[in-house]
Structure 1
């Protein structure tokens, strides 16, 4: 950054090194004073170096003959180049240089020193001023060019922005209105005119509020007032427009304030989207989401919502009544006559239910499949529950000729919850009605009324069934054994029976019968039954026990088409001989119409596996003994428990005699004492099990 000498070559230095040091001291002082008057983008050493050169030029200008004013003027220009252009920079420079040059010992011999110093400083000032003027002029020219460029760019952008706005305004499918602050229309595009079924000229000079539905005008005005006051930055609201034909149209308004450069509101711009078709579609979709497509009735979701309202709005003294219907044998109808006919029947059921409850404040819904729900807000003239149930089934019993040839009549099982508490949750109420319906179906009744105690019992039972799978996985469900003794052979073990036991943390030990019943409720019957069969076979084989293994089959397992395959696999994997396995078939499964259990029993007999019949005598039919290869029958526990009754005792004698005539042995379970054992021996029983015979082979847990 060091400047060259203005003449291109250096002149003679002061003769003495001492003079050079004084000049550097002067330059340092000059640099310090100048740096306090302007910002200099250099370090102090760089400033001192530059100013030392300029001091040398000035020293030579004073000392030279003729006097070198050109060096002084060049030094002034160099000060401007170094940006020493603060308001006080030149004055401070003149002061420090004037004093310094006049006091310089090497210049004391120069004639007319003061005049020379004044001339040199004048030349310095002149060079400084000229250079500063040129610099300012150059900067102004650059600024003018920049301002001109900015102005041109701004105009170009304004033209482009205006063109873009016009294109969007004219071509937008969304309606656009520019209004004054009172809502008077200044401009509208073709889309808004089309939405309102008017021409842009017809809309000009009218207020936008004239085309808004009267019920929505005040709310829209309040929104615009909030915009103008600054409480809202942008207004977005759904409102109704009114077209030329007077029909309301749903639209979405999006409005904002157009302000000038100082922030004053000048206009309002409003975008208007015609949502009429969207609103219709939304209502249609909402209806479809809350109504059954086939019957047009409310669906379960809508019904649950309305249940809550019905409970809250009903008369406190009379309350509501909930009817939960399940069509009887409907799957047989669809299976035999087809799904299309079934759909027609469901539509007919919906119409008949509307007829039954047309005089009541009632809501009818299709809850799913062939289930319907009706909630009635009871009034003074509402019939009693029994009358309404009879009306329902009377209407359903009227044959409906859905295809011109088949007259199909229906009936329904009905669960009724009458006057539930007002604070009952809808989901809880529906669950109660469903449990009541299922309880009526299990009992073979046409309808049932909600009973709190029975409901509590059923829920408890279902809760146990739901938790059984987890208990089995955790090892709480285990296999125990009981011995079956031969009553004619001094109570010698004749077989070992495997049974289930569930040790529940709250309920205690749950019996085999309870486990089988609960497993049948949740689809656990087949895997649990297979596990019982396989594990028991493994235990007996490992323990080296030679007596037969008795395994009582549940109803689902006895009729399972894969039962024979499962038994074959167990025998093959465990090595248990076929003649030592005695599966027990419930008598009721052998009487079923499908005959799957009978087929399984016959096939097992063919491969050398002797089967038993359990619950013998409870089904009311013993004729199948003549047709099935039965080796043993077990008297039903319901008969055993009442053996001392004279009529039951005579029936027992007949059962035992029939079994013996068929070539089968007779077994009884639940024998608790030796006296009972003797009683059964006297009455012809062959085998017995129960607490009276507790001894088991080592290694097997007892019941």
Structure 2
């Protein structure tokens, strides 16, 4: 024991023990330090794992795609909330359940049933599988899913897992189907549209066209695909849309329209309105153009025809007064007009006698012949116009105008020397010509002054023996002054009641009883006696007296009807377009009807076709106002002139009067007979009353009655007489014109 104590007491032993204790203390400290770090690392790992799990759960919860994790044994290890919502599962019932036992009713893309195992199995090419599951809107609702399966190794124990992602594509599928339907509908609409349609790329090449467009261009759909659209344009309209296209491309406008010409495959030209719109991508970049091409050839031709008719004489095709005034005004506006411009006024000699002897049809033939002579004599050196009746005028522009005027005048006389052969008759025509050169005075006075000077020279030629040419000189102004004085005298005559109406009877052809009258104006001049309309009607129009004269004559006609023993007889008043448009005439007619307590159907407004060329809206309104009040509208000179049949449809017309030019040749003239029969049938088909004028023989009256013309007037039944004579001379029918008789072939004026 003592030895042991001595051993512990030795210094070496003490030192060794101390070293050992220090070493043990250091080792204990190291282990405590290391265990603390391990705890910290473990805590950090656990915290990181919790964070990752939260992130995973957040991703699984917020993802639009569902996720199902299946173990190697085929059990569901995890199913996301999104997957539950898409597949109609509950998470508590799904986790741990074999995949094959999941309560899922699935079908493939062909609507064939599928078990869950097959629905979620991996495809051979790795692409998604398309399956359908029941939706929420009934038994017929299917939700379409994209299912993708891929195996992975579990990082924990190395066992394989299968991750199944489920994406609901129902909305995308419906959008695609809607887009497909929309595209199909657009294609069908485009293919079956009656208007030409095309899709054009940004290089202005045809991508697709419809059948209507191909037919418009005289080609086929296949032949037009890929064709530059500009290749179809008329050479003069090649770049008609270029500036508009650039503005459309740059976004300065949404669409544009332009009318232009295209050349069809057969070389014919078609007018069309091109409507262009630009389709852009969602970001705004241009993609392609959509165009409509509407064929306006017929509309344009009709418009040009109407414009031509408005500016040309319907009988001869020459320029009318409106066009002539425009042409002459343009010539006089040129700086050298005083040495290069002149006018020839032409008036036929004895034309009224020709009309009275042979009828209006022969007179019209003569006017057409004269028009041809004037064209030939002018030879393209001027504009030939017919101002009305047998009055013609020529505006000439030439470097040696004086010489040209005399050459044309001489050629006119030579051309008229050849007789006109009509139905075994040789008719000799002649004309009086007046020449006027432009000078300072006529240029200052405009086209009217120069035309007035030529008229003065023409009247001098008539006074000097006719069939000759006179040149205007200042002394002839006296004649023009006389016209002005006559116009002032006419104005006073209207105010004093010197314009009077004579009445020509209109009979029912079947019964030969008087049913109405046409009122024809005369001037009871204090010194010159009774003047016919030709002596003063032009002055009424030229001097703007039509409205005043019309009001006075309406009052006379109303007084005549009031004195008539029959309460059904009617009077037709000739009315020109000059009297219409401001409602003053209509107001005057209705006021007179009221003052004299007349039935509105007894006052008939008779219009000539020539007065209806391009009627404006106000004229139509006034006619409609009269017709609505019960006043019948009668269309005179039916069959002549240029008014289209649309007037009979669009204007409130109640009846028509067959022009006497068609009556003159019947029944001997087969052509005239056919035309009269056809016009009568047309009028009756339209429900219009039918009146034939210019009846001079019993044969004409019987033929017209047999053709269905109900009423007639003419020399056979009596000429125009003063009011007192007309009332006492003709027995009147007891049947009102406005009472329809169903057995007759056409209605009366008041029926329509």
Aligning the two structures, in what range does the TM-score lie when normalised by the shorter sequence? 0.3 to 0.5
Q: Which protein shows a greater Rg?
A: 1
Q: Return the TM-score normalized by structure 1.
A: 0.43
Q: Return the TM-score normalized by structure 2.
A: 0.40
Higher percent of residues as strand: 2
